C-alpha cells in the first residue's frame, strides 16, 4: 500500500526539528546480534560526534535501490542511507530516478517543472554537474532531482541511441569526487530502472516485512541477470534491507526468516523498524537523520549504513564487533532467484 504523505511537500508546521524519541517500541533487528535499543542509544545529535566508523570506499560505489513494488521503502532507504553516510564523512550523490520525485522532496530539493533535472541528463544529454544540487543541512550530500518531466522519459528514451546507458555515461563523465551514488528507482522495471542497472555495480533491494514480500522479486532478479549478461558484467545484488519491520508481529519475523534463507549474507543484519518519525520526516523536506537523530528510525538507518560501509571494505559486521572476512563473494544470481516468482 502506498502513502502519499511524502508527495505533499512541506507542511505548515513552522518548527520542524528534533522531536522526542519514537513512541513505538524498538524491535530488535531480525536475527541481529546488535539491536538498536533506546537504552543504548546515544543522545539525539550525538551521532555526529561519535567516531565515524564508516570507512570511505576506495572507489565510488554506485548502488541501485530497486524493487518494482511501490511502497516498500526504496526512497526512504535511499535518502536515509545517503544522509547517514554523508554525516559520517562520505560524499554522497542521490540520483532521483522516479518521476514522482519523492527523494528530491525528502532531501528538501526544489523540483518543480523548470528545475534542471535528471530528465535533461537522460533525454537531452545535459551534464550531470549542471543538475546536481547540494542538500541543505547535510554536508557532503547532493541530489540530482527528478521532475514530472521524467514521466515521459520512459517513452522518449525508446527511440534514442544508447537508450539503456545514458545514465551510466553521465555518471562516468561526472567529475566531482564521490564515495557513493545511490540511485532511487521507480516502481517498475522499465528503461529508467534499466539505466540505473547499467550504471551501477550493486543492487540494494529493500524488502518490506509483509505478506507477499518476495512476490515479484524473481522478475527483478532475472532483469539483473539479463543486464549483467548483456550490458554490465559488474552488476550484482549486494544488499538486501528489511524495512518496516515490526518485531511484535509473527508475520514480520517469518518474512525476515524467509528472506534470510533465500538471500543469506546479502541481507543486512540491521533491519529498519516501522517508525512514525521516518514517515514524518519527508514532509519537512528532511531525512530522519536530521529530523530526529535520536529516534529508532534514524539509529537503525545509521546502523544499516555502517554495515554497508564496512562491507564495502571487506569487514563483516555483527553488531557489537566487526571482523575481517574478505570481500563479500558475489552469489550466483541464478541460485538467488530459485524458488521466487
Which residues bind to Mg ion, rule: CB under 5 A? 74-75, 98, 102
Name 316's bridge partners. 323
Closest CA to 301 of 33, 47, 129, 101: 47
Closest contact distance (angstroms) between CB of 284 and Mg ion is: 17
For residue 121, the partner it binds in ligand ADP, Mg ion, none, with Cβ less than 5 to 8 A by kind, is none
For residue 232, the partner it binds in Mg ion, ligand ADP, none, with Cβ less than 5 to 8 A by kind, is none
By C-beta, is 80 or 90 nearer to ligand ADP? 80
For residue 5, the partner it binds in ligand ADP, Mg ion, none, with Cβ less than 5 to 8 A by kind, is ligand ADP
Give residues 28-47 in contact with ligand ADP (rule: CB under 6 A): none
Among the residue ranges 52-60, 248-256, 257-265, 273-281, the one whose residues contact ligand ADP (CB under 6 A):
273-281
Q: Does residue 243 touch ligand ADP according to CB under 6 A?
A: yes
User: d(Cα 116, Cα 196) in Å, to the nearest integer?
Assistant: 19
For residue 76, the partner it binds in ligand ADP, Mg ion, none, with Cβ less than 5 to 8 A by kind, is ligand ADP
Closest contact distance (angstroms) between CB of 76 and Mg ion is: 8
Among the residue ranges 220-228, 232-240, 277-285, 307-315, the one whose residues contact ligand ADP (CB under 6 A):
277-285
For residue 188, the partner it binds in Mg ion, ligand ADP, none, with Cβ less than 5 to 8 A by kind, is none
Closest contact distance (angstroms) between CB of 186 and Mg ion is: 7
SS (H, E, C) the chain: CCCCCCCCCCCCCCCCCCCCCCCCCCCCCCCCCCCCCCCCCCCCCHHHCCCCCCCCCCCCEEEEECCCCCCCCHHHHHHHHHHHHHHCCCCEEEEECCCCCHHHHHCCCCCCCCCCCHHHHHHHCCCHHHCCEECCCCCCEEEECCCCCHHHHHHHHHHCCCCCCHHHHHHHCCCCCCCEEEEECCCCCCHHHHHHHHHCCEEEEEEECCCCCCCCHHHHHHHHHHHHHHCCCCCEEEEEEEECECCCCHHHHHHHHHHHHHHHHHECCCCCECCHHHHHHHHHCCCHHHHCCCCHHHHHHHHHHHHHHHHHCCEEECCCCEEECCCCCCCCHHHHHCCCC
Closest contact distance (angstroms) between CB of 233 and ligand ADP is: 27
By C-beta, is 3 or 159 nearer to ligand ADP? 3
Q: Which of 18, 44, 52, 71 binds ligand ADP (CB under 6 A)?
A: 71
By C-beta, is 74 or 91 nearer to ligand ADP? 74
Q: Does residue 133 touch ligand ADP according to CB under 6 A?
A: no
Yes or no: say if 2 and 71 are a contact pair by the CB < 8 Å rule: yes
Among the residue ranges 195-203, 215-223, 233-241, 269-277, the one whose residues contact ligand ADP (CB under 6 A):
269-277
For residue 237, the partner it binds in ligand ADP, Mg ion, none, with Cβ less than 5 to 8 A by kind, is none
| Site of interaction with ligand ADP (CB under 6 A) | 3, 5-6, 70-76, 102, 187, 243-244, 272, 274-275, 278-279, 282, 297
Amino acid at each position: 500500500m502506498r502513502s502519499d504523505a511524502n508527495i505533499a511537500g512541506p507542511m505548515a508546521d513552522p518548527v520542524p526539528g528534533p522531536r522526542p524519541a519514537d513512541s513505538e517500541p524498538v524491535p530488535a533487528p531480525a536475527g541481529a546480534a546488535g539491536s538498536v535499543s533506546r537504552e543504548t542509544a546515544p543522545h539525539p545529535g550525538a551521532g555526529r560526534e561519535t567516531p565515524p566508523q564508516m570507512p570511505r570506499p576506495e572507489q565510488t560505489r554506485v548502488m541501485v535501490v530497486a524493487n518494482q513494488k511501490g511502497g516498500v521503502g526504496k526512497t526512504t532507504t535511499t535518502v536515509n542511507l545517503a544522509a547517514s553516510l554523508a554525516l559520517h564523512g562520505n560524499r554522497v550523490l542521490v540520483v532521483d530516478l522516479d518521476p514522482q520525485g519523492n527523494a528530491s522532496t525528502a532531501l528538501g530539493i526544489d523540483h518543480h517543472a523548470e528545475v534542471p533535472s535528471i530528465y535533461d541528463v537522460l533525454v537531452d544529454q545535459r551534464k550531470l554537474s549542471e543538475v546536481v544540487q547540494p542538500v541543505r543541512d547535510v554536508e557532503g550530500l547532493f541530489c540530482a532531482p527528478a521532475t514530472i518531466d521524467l514521466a515521459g522519459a520512459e517513452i522518449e528514451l525508446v527511440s534514442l541511441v544508447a537508450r539503456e546507458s545514458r545514465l551510466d555515461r553521465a555518471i562516468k563523465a561526472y567529475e566531482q569526487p564521490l564515495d557513493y551514488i545511490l540511485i532511487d528507482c521507480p516502481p517498475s522495471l522499465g528503461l529508467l530502472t534499466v539505466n540505473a542497472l547499467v550504471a551501477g555495480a550493486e543492487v540494494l533491494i529493500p524488502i518490506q516485512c509483509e505478506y507477499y514480500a518476495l512476490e515479484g522479486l524473481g522478475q527483478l532478479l532475472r532483469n539483473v541477470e539479463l543486464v549483467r549478461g548483456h550490458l554490465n558484467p559488474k552488476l550484482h545484488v549486494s544488499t538486501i534491507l528489511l524495512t518496516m519491520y515490526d518485531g511484535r508481529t509473527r508475520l514480520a519475523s517469518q518474512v525476515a526468516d524467509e528472506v534470510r534463507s533465500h538471500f543469506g549474507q546479502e541481507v543486512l543484519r540491521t533491519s529498519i523498524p516501522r517508525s512514525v518519525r521516518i514517515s514524518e520526516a519527508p514532509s519537512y523536506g528532511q531525512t530522519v537523520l536530521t529530523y530526529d537523530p535520536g529516534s529508532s528510525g534514524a539509529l537503525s538507518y545509521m546502523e544499516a549504513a555502517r554495515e554497508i560501509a564496512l562491507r564495502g571494505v571487506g569487514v563483516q559486521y555483527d553488531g557489537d564487533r566487526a571482523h575481517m572476512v574478505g570481500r563479500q563473494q558475489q552469489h550466483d544470481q541464478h541460485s538467488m532467484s530459485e524458488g521466487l516468482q
